[in-house]
Structures are given as structure tokens and as C-alpha cells.
A and B are shown apart, each in its own frame.
Chain A
Amino acid sequence: DTAVSQTPKYLVTQMGNDKSIKCEQNLGHDTMYWYKQDSKKFLKIMFSYNNKELIINETVPNRFSPKSPDKAHLNLHINSLELGDSAVYFCASSQDPGILAKNIQYFGAGTRLSVL
């Protein structure tokens, strides 16, 4: 069983469209994250949720809206897609970032988004 799974793996869409990426973890973790990896391979955090509550919200355009229906799921919705949104988006989870030994983040396989 995949611990952190994302769908879809690939997403090709036109500028201006709205799209969603889904993430689910079966590790029983309390905290989930979204990261963006650009063409230069930098992984940058976008959001984190702890038990459905938004904890980290980096400087991300408000076209990006995370939604956590329960602690096992964190979805990312993107409105009015732009060319610069093309990247690989990774979901991750950790057990409890408040406890040092439980702050290991486990990553999904990524969603490659291409905006044309």
C-alpha cells in the first residue's frame, strides 16, 4: 500500500483553467503539506495542515486553495492557471511536527502539472 498517494500523476491543461490535485495518506499522521518543485529542482513549502487546521501558509497566490476534509486528505485547488504554475507538486505528511522524532516527512510521488 502506498503511504502517501497523489492523483493525478500528470496534469496537462490550458491557461485559465481550474484544476485540483488530491492527496491521501494512510499513515495515521496528523500533519500534511504541499510543496512545489520548480524547474530548478527547488522544493518549496506552500501549505501545511494539522488535524484539518491550516498551520503554514507561505507566500502563495490566493489562486491556490488547500482543503482538508479530514486529517488523511489534503487537496490542492488551483484557479485560473498560469504558465508559471507549471511544476511538480508534492504532498507530504508527518506524524507530529511538535515532537522532534516525529517530524520526518514522507512524500508522495508528485503531480507533474503542465500549463500550456
Chain B
Amino acid sequence: EDKVVQSPLSLVVHEGDTVTLNCSYEVTNFRSLLWYKQEKKAPTFLFMLTSSGIEKKSGRLSSILDKKELFSILNITATQTGDSAIYLCAPAAGGTSYGKLTFGQGTILTVHP
């Protein structure tokens, strides 16, 4: 059975801190890994990673994938209160699982002023 484990489960920091969120996975027919941010409602897309070692960046957020060790990290620098959310990691499968995302349990990030 496909498995995705995120750590830490929760994290409390102050504005300006840097955080690293971890995601390890075991997924059959792995194709890519997606990161989402979930505030009160819909998960919103952050990154899609397909190749090992190539960092993706968007402002203060960056992410990288290691397909050999089966993990990914999401970094957030100079955190702001608006970064408070649940961060979800989701490997995508191919083959007969055609587009299936298997989500981790998420990391709850709380950023205090």
C-alpha cells in the first residue's frame, strides 16, 4: 500500500524564522510529487517536482525532491503569519492509478507575530 509520511506533524515558530518540512514516500508507479497549502478551505497548489535535485522556488518558498531516497522537503524562509496553514505533500502515481494523489497527514505550521 502506498505510504506518505510528513514530519513534523506540527510546528510553531515566530515571524522571520526559517522552517523545513519533510515528506517521505513509498508509492507504486511514482511520477511526480506535489505540495499544497491548506488554509481554511481548499488545498492550493504550491509546487510540482518531477526530477531529483532540481530546486523549485517561489518567493520565500522552495522545494526539492530526492527520488533515490524517496523524500522531499519544503523550505519557507522569513516566515510570516500568513504562512500559517497545513502543508500537504502528495506523490502522484501513473499507470493504472492514472493521476492518483496519495496525501500525507500534513504539517500544521503556526507562525506567531
Please report A residues at the B interface, Cβ cutoff 8 Å. 4, 31, 33, 40-45, 48, 50, 55-56, 90, 94, 97-98, 100-101, 103-110
Contact = CB atoms under 8 A, between A and B. Distances in A.
Nearest to A31: B99
Interface string B72-99: 0000000000000010101010100111
Given A55-B98, A56-B97, A100-B50, A41 B105 contact: yes
A40 B108 CA distance: 12
Contacts of A4: 42
A87 to B, nearest CB: 14
A56 B98 CA distance: 8
A84 to B, nearest CB: 19
B97 A108 contact: no
A24 B95 CA distance: 26
B38 to A, nearest CB: 8
A7 to B, nearest CB: 14
B67 to A, nearest CB: 14
- Contact count band on B: 20 to 34
Contacts of B111: none
Interface in B28-62: 31-32, 34, 36, 41-45, 48, 50
B79 to A, nearest CB: 21
B34 A104 contact: yes
26 contacts: A31-B99, A33-B99, A40-B105, A41-B106, A43-B88, A43-B103, A45-B100, A45-B102, A48-B100, A55-B98, A56-B97, A90-B42, A97-B92, A97-B98, A98-B98, A100-B32, A101-B48, A103-B32, A103-B48, A103-B92, A104-B48, A107-B44, A108-B42, A109-B42, A110-B41, A110-B42
A42 B104 CA distance: 7
Contact of B86 (A41, A94, A106): A41
